[in-house]
């Protein structure tokens, strides 16, 4: 299932100008929207910013938390789709790449 | 190194300024216990979903309401509205506390008799009473509340046949400043129907007019409406006294006090906006005390309060089946109960709490039931912490009408448990099984077998 997260399915580049604080506060200057996220969400966003690969992210989370692979995969998929919806991940930058 | 507990990653837009329309934060504090019994243990013993009733809470609400009325008016009697919750154990808590029974069908009438309520302490309301039911009620000296003229004439005929003098009241409907007006039940006050009915009853002299009854509506947010109703009934009683020298023994103001639920579409939570028992008691007692009675002839005040006395004592426990993301980005959570057993989800934004501890991260969520139908929505939007499959929830303030209006649709009705005043749990209604339903069915011989 992990292979579903291919480039065609999901762009995973966080907008360059997104501000992320250590407490999970996120600000998107292009839209003026602010968000809050929980510690796992923050960790994933940080890794996305560092352009970690999906495989690296998966390993990190599975090693650190009490969660099985299938559950995390489902939640990760859902979370990334929310990052799209909130425009924290941008469609435009994908095209430019 | 041991691993950290996992929580699903969530992200939530922050709305600065305005109050979040999805409600305030206190709403989702976890509720792990009901009356010191853990939700987990209740579900593991009795299954999910599960209705739980707190006997303590019933007793407390009853003591609150009686205190509010008895400190303001000398003669008050409550009658338990069976339709609100007619589990026998619940009825008997009310009967132990001194409530009579208020019933609206032959089925409920017989339920009250079987529970041991003396016939003379059963109030028989409703527009549909068969000859057999009326005969039984007349023989038992029950208080028959007449809804329409056809019924009045039939009772007069039965009185002659049975050579008994039935005790009756008439149900009166009236304008109390609340719209829509409930004018389909009983005789109208303003157009003189009610006064006509009183005259007919007394002049025929075959039945005994002992009371006047009004039930002005349900979930009434205006205490003053009860003041108006009480004044109008007192006025009828006064004219009856003047014209016929007959004392009306009781005035029954029905039910309808609001519970602490939040009506759909209302901005304020019910727990903040519903009037208190003191508010209702003040309006009613002021109207009655100011009416034209002599001290010896103050009528008995009967109240048939239902939801306000049982709603808060009822909880529905359930379990998360799955999560889904809707096309507009909202999270939806599917629960193992829906409008089939939580009928009141059509009326209220029920308060729902997770039954386990959570971090303070939350998401706007739609809560769906398991029925394969679009109408099966438990909450259209509620702010809740992320919940995963298997997590448990507590729905609050569900004691009224759900256990009587629930539907047996594609699944079976669950167990109901009562927690007594010592914290002991009792199964008071066993969940249905396939056999429960099949035992009612009959198979024609030619359909009893097939080959596939
Ligand atoms: C005649 C009568 N009495 C009492 C009640 C109880 O009403 P509530 O639960 O609103 O107090 C009802 C309910 O509709 C009713 O019809």
What CATH number should be reported for the domain holding residue B249? Answer: 3.20.20.10
Does A58 map to a domain? Answer: yes
Domain membership of residue B295 (yes or no) is yes
A44 belongs to a structural domain? yes
Task: Read off the tokens for A54.
Answer: 């999906």
Angle between helices B106-115 and B131-139 (to 10 degrees): 30
User: Is B409 domain-assigned?
Assistant: yes
Same domain, B276 and B319: no
- On whether both B295 and B320 belong to a single domain, the answer is no
Q: Mean pLDDT per segment of 10 residues, for chain B of length 452 residues? A: 86 61 57 96 98 98 98 97 98 98 98 98 97 98 97 97 98 88 89 96 97 95 95 96 96 97 81 91 96 86 98 98 88 96 95 88 90 91 90 97 95 97 98 97 97 96
CATH code of the domain in which B401 resides: 2.40.37.10
One domain for residues B150 and B293:
yes
A94 in a structural domain: no
Q: What is the 3-state secondary structure (H, E, C) of B243-304?
A: HHCCCCCEEECCCCECCCCCECCCCCCHHHHCCCHHHHHHHHHHHHHCCCCCHHHCCEEEEC
- Give yes or no: residues B148 and B268 share one domain: yes
Q: Which residue among B182, B215, B220 has the greatest number of ligand 1 atoms within 8 angstroms of its CB, and so is best to mutate?
A: B215
Q: Which of B263, B286, B305 is the last residue of a domain?
A: B305
Q: Given an 8 Å threshold on Cβ–Cβ distance, is B9 in contact with A81? A: no
Cα B83 from Cα B305, distance rounded (Å): 11
What's the CA gap between B122 and B248, in Å, rounded? 18
Reported as a single tens digit per residue, the pLDDT across A31-66 is 888 888 998 999 999 999 888 888 999 999 999 999
Q: Which residues of B touch A85 (CB under 8 A)?
A: 329
Q: Report the percentage of chain B scoring pLDDT > 70.
A: 96
Domain of residue A71 covers: 2-88
The secondary structure of residue B4, as a DSSP letter, is B
Q: Report CA(B172)–ligand 1 centroid distance (Å).
A: 14
Q: Per residue in B33-66, pLDDT tens?
A: 999 999 999 999 999 999 999 999 999 999 999 9
Ligand 1: lining residues by beta carbon, under 6 Å: B 81, 84, 102, 125, 215, 218, 254-257, 304-308, 400
B254 plus B323 within the same structural domain = no
Question: Which of B285, B305, B325 represents a domain boundary (last residue)?
Answer: B305
Three-state secondary-structure class, residue B158: helix
* One domain for residues B243 and B160: yes
Judge whether B325 is closer than 8 Å to chain A, CB to CB.
yes
**Is B326 found in the same domain as B281?**
no
Strand order in the sheet with A33-37: A19-20, A25-28, A33-37, B11-13
Shared domain check, B234 and B217 = yes
Q: How far apart are CA A81 and CA A83, in angstroms?
A: 5
- Of the residues B283, B305, B327, which one is the last residue of a structural domain? B305
Q: Which pTM does this prediction carry?
A: 0.85
Q: How far is the CA of B399 from the centre of ligand 1 (A)?
A: 14
Q: Please provide the average confidence, as pLDDT, over all residues in chain B.
A: 93
User: B380 with B340, same domain?
Assistant: yes
Number of structural domains chain A divides into: 1
Helices within B264-414 (DSSP H only)? 270-273, 277-289, 307-310, 402-405
DSSP state of B28: G
On whether residue B27 sits in a domain, the answer given is no
b/e map B341-380, b = 16+ CB within 10 Å: bbbbbeebbbbbbbbbebeebbbbbbbbbbbeeeebbbbe
In a domain, B75, yes or no: no
B346 domain residue, yes or no: yes
Asked if A63 and B3 come within 8 Å (Cβ–Cβ), the reply is yes
**What is the number of residues in chain B?**
452
Find the domain containing B364 and state its range: 33-52+313-434
- Interface contact flag, B6 A38, Cβ < 8 Å: no
Give yes or no: residues B318 and B412 share one domain.
yes
The total domain count for chain B is: 2
| Domain assignment of residue B355, yes or no | yes
Is residue A93 included in any domain, yes or no? no
């Amino acid at each position: 299932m992990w292979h579903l997260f291919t480039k065609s399915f999901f762009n995973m580049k966080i907008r360059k100008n997104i501000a992320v604080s250590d407490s999970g506060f996120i600000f998107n200057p292009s839209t003026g929207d602010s968000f809050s996220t929980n510690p796992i969400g923050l960790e994933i966003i940080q890794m996305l910013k560092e352009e970690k690969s999906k495989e690296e992210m998966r390993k990190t989370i599975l090693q650190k938390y009490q969660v099985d692979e299938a559950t995390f995969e489902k939640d990760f998929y859902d979370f990334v789709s929310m990052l799209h919806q909130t425009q924290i991940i941008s469609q435009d930058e994908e095209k430019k790449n | 190194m041991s691993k950290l507990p996992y929580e699903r990653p969530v992200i939530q837009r922050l709305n600065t300024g305005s109050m979040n329309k999805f409600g305030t934060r206190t709403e989702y504090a976890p509720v792990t216990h009901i009356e010191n019994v853990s939700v987990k243990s209740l579900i593991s013993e009795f299954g999910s979903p599960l209705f739980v009733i707190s006997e303590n809470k019933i007793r407390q609400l009853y003591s609150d309401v009686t205190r509010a009325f008895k400190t303001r008016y000398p003669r008050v009697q409550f009658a338990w509205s069976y339709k609100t919750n007619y589990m026998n154990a619940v009825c008997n808590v009310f009967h132990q506390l001194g409530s009579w029974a208020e019933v609206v069908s032959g089925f409920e009438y017989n339920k009250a008799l079987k529970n041991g309520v003396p016939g003379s302490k059963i109030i028989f309301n409703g527009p549909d009473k068969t000859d057999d039911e009326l005969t039984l009620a007349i023989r038992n000296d029950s208080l028959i509340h007449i809804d329409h003229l056809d019924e009045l004439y039939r009772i007069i005929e039965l009185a002659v046949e049975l050579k008994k003098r039935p005790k009756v009241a008439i149900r009166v409907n009236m304008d109390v400043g609340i719209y829509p007006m409930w004018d389909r039940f009983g005789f109208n006050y303003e157009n003189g129907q009610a006064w006509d009915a009183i005259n007919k009853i007394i002049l025929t002299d075959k039945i005994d007019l002992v009371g006047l009854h009004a039930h002005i509506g349900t979930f009434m947010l205006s205490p003053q409406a009860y003041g108006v109703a009480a004044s109008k009934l007192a006025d009828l009683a006064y004219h009856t006294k003047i014209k016929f020298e007959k004392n009306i023994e009781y005035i029954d103001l029905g039910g309808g006090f609001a519970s602490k639920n939040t009506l759909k579409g209302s901005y304020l939570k019910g727990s903040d906006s519903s009037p208190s028992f003191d508010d209702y008691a003040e309006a009613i007692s002021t109207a009655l005390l100011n009416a034209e009675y002599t001290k010896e002839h103050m009528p008995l005040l009967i109240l048939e309060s239902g939801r306000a006395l049982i709603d808060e004592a009822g909880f529905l426990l359930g379990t998360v089946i799955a999560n889904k993301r809707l096309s507009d980005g909202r999270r939806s959570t599917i629960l193992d109960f829906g409008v089939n057993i939580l009928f009141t989800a059509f009326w209220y934004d029920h308060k729902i709490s997770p039954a386990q501890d959570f971090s303070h991260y939350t998401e706007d969520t739609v809560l769906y039931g398991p029925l394969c139908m679009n109408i099966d929505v438990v909450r259209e939007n509620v702010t809740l912490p992320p919940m995963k499959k298997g997590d448990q929830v507590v729905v609050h303030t569900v004691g009224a009408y759900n256990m009587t209006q629930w539907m047996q649709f594609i699944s079976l009705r669950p167990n109901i448990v009562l927690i007594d005043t010592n914290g002991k749990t009792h199964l008071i209604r066993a969940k249905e099984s396939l056999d429960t339903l099949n035992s009612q069915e009959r198979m024609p011989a030619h359909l009893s077998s097939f080959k596939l």
